[in-house]
Homo-oligomer: A and B are copies of this chain.
Amino acid sequence: MISSSESLRALITELSNLPGIGNKSAARLAYYIANAPKEKIEALVDSIKKVSSNIKRCKVCFTFSDNEICDICSSDKRDKSKIMVVENERDMLAYENTGEYKGVYHVLGGALSPLLGIGPSDLKIKELMARLSQDVTEVIIATNSSIEGETTATYLAKLIKQLGIKVSRIASGVPVGGDIENIDDATLMKAYNGRQVL
Contacts and interface: CB of A to CB of B under 8 A. Distances in A.
B47 A45 contact: no
A197 interface: no
Interface in A26-56: 27-34, 36, 38, 41-45, 47-55
Contact of A51 (B2, B34, B58): B34
A11 B93 CA distance: 14
A96 interface: yes
A9 to B, nearest CB: 9
A78 B43 CA distance: 39
Interface residues of A, number: 59
Copies in the complex: 2
* A11, A32, A48 — most chain B CB neighbours (10 Å): A48
Nearest to A74: B4
A97 B31 contact: no
B50 A45 contact: no
A95 B13 CA distance: 19
Contact of A5 (B8, B10, B31, B70): B70
28 contacts: A2-B99, A3-B64, A3-B96, A4-B61, A4-B63, A4-B65, A4-B70, A5-B51, A5-B63, A5-B64, A5-B71, A7-B50, A10-B47, A10-B50, A11-B48, A14-B43, A14-B48, A15-B44, A18-B29, A18-B32, A19-B28, A27-B93, A31-B90, A33-B48, A34-B55, A34-B89, A41-B52, A45-B49
Given A2-B93, A3-B64, A48-B48, 15 more contacts: A2-B97, A2-B99, A4-B65, A4-B70, A5-B70, A10-B50, A11-B50, A14-B44, A15-B47, A28-B90, A33-B51, A34-B64, A41-B49, A42-B52, A45-B49
